[in-house]
Amino acid sequence: MQYRKFGKLDFEVPVLGFGCMRLPVLDNDSGKIDEKEAIKMLRYGIDHGITYIDTAYPYHKGNSELLVGKALKDGYREKVTLATKLPVWLTHNHEDFDKYLNEQLSRLNTDHIDFYLLHSLDQESWNKVKSLGVLDFLDKALADGRIKYAGFSFHDEFPVFKEIFDAYNWSFCQIQLNYMDENYQAGLKGLNYAAERNVAVVIMEPLKGGKLAMRPPASIQEIWDTADQKRTPADWALRWLCNFPGVSVILSGMSNLEQVVENIRIVEDALPLSLTSKELGMVQRAAEQYRSLTKVQCTSCEYCLPCPSGVDIPKNFSLYNDTYIYGDVTHSSFVYNNFLPEAKRASACVACNACESLCPQHIPISRHMEDVHKRLGKQA
């Protein structure tokens, strides 16, 4: 296993971390984890050098932390550093911070959490928890030993990332990054901003929810076939991230043992600055080819917002486009129906057309919203 220094802290971590959001399940129910298989996978990973274990309060409908607590029995807790996250959207007063941390310690069957993150911060949630005194809470939890290091995971634009980053003496941060998302949310700007200040960066969604590990369209496979050394799509995506010296840990949400074995193999020799100019050019061409499959040329500039009816137009188009780019309707439909509030879905569009005069791309938004719901909405 390849290890890297964890920012300004005086220890190293494995470049591959185990993300516990996509564990194997039973009956196609994300809340019913296949405990036997999941524990087998986690312990195999730990036995082969994965010592950064990441979970969160809501994963697997609240059951991920419980599973991780079980997996880390029999001496495994002492072999790892454990990360979980405060569910900031559930907090309404200062006392809630302690309530959830103590509940998580109990769920995980541990007396401390090594890496504790404020989960999924954006401008709105940051403003809320900051006003409730979350930074004082972190100071207290660090002082009493319930957490060892404080960080945050992030889902907003770079200026918001910079504001949050500069507001506290964070030990690390967690951002979404892959070769399709260089300029999405914090993106490469966020990675570089943190790395230049010697703060560890943990990467989530390295395979874009598994999309970059899927069998690619023929036009993209032709690009990979020009490589001197043949690799799988997942291999190329992980190596692209490993190539950045500022990346400390890459979280992979592995769903079966084969993925654990493959990812461990990939990162063994995926060293910083090891990709050739030819290989980097191939990855760039693959990204451009994926983008050429985009159905609606929405740039997420948000000029169309706020929608008078409350529709999150860019998010709907992002999910819709993914079904054409990656050929994965199932995942986008799941997110649309389960994580996008009904009031923000394309189905809430009343075709008032107020957005269309504001769109710099001149997209016929209202017409496309009908198509989005037909493609992603639940079928009767």
Instruction: Give residue for tokens 């109990």.
Output: 106
Q: Which residue has the tokens 């493959």?
A: 262
Tell me, what's the pLDDT at 184? Answer: 85
What span, in angstroms and rounded, lies between the C-alpha atoms of 235 and 263?
8
Spell out the residues 6+ positions from residue 69 whose beta carbon is closer than 8 angstroms to its own: 107, 108, 109, 110
The answer to whether residue 380 scores a pLDDT higher than 50 is no
What are the tens digits of pLDDT across the range 353-374? 999 988 877 899 999 999 999 9
Q: Is the pLDDT of residue 379 over 70?
A: no
* Angle ∠(102,107,110) on CA atoms, nearest 5: 75
Residues 270 and 206: beta-carbon distance below 8 Å: no
Q: Residue 93: what pLDDT?
A: 97
Question: Where in the chain are the domains?
Answer: 3-285, 313-376
Residue range 234-262: mean pLDDT, rounded: 96
CA atoms of 306 and 379, how far apart (whole Å): 28
Q: How confident is the model at residue 73 (pLDDT cuts 50, 70, 90)?
A: very high
**pLDDT tens, position by position, 308-344:** 999 999 999 989 998 988 888 988 999 999 889 999 9
For domain 3-285, the CATH class is: alpha beta
- Residue 170: the pLDDT is 98
Beta bridge partner(s), residue 251: 17
CA distance 318 to 320: 5
Closest CA to 234 of 246, 219, 216, 217: 216
Binned at pLDDT 50, 70 and 90, residue 295 comes out as confident
Neighbours of 25 (CB within 10 A): 18
Tell me if 199 sits within 8 A of 8, measured CB to CB. Answer: yes
Residue with structure tokens 């404020």? 118
Alpha carbon 86 to its chain centroid, in Å, reads 15
**Which residues contact residue 370 at a Cβ distance below 8 angstroms, ignoring those fewer than 6 apart?**
346, 349
The DSSP 8-state label assigned to residue 216 in this structure reads P
In the prediction, which pLDDT does 125 show?
Answer: 93
Tell me the three state secondary structure of residue 29: strand
Average pLDDT of every residue of the chain: 93
- Alpha-carbon distance 338 to 77, whole Å? 33
Three-state DSSP class for residue 298:
coil
pLDDT value, residue 326: 83
pLDDT digits over 146-178, tens only? 999 999 999 889 999 999 999 999 999 999 999
Mean per-residue pLDDT for 189-209? 95
Separation of CA 214 from chain center: 17
What is the three-class DSSP state of 2?
coil
Query: Once rounded to an integer, what is the mean pLDDT over residues 58-73?
Result: 95
Q: C-alpha dihedral over 193, 184, 237, 233, to 10 degrees? A: 180
For residue range 106-116, what is the model confidence (pLDDT) as tens digits?
A: 999 999 999 99
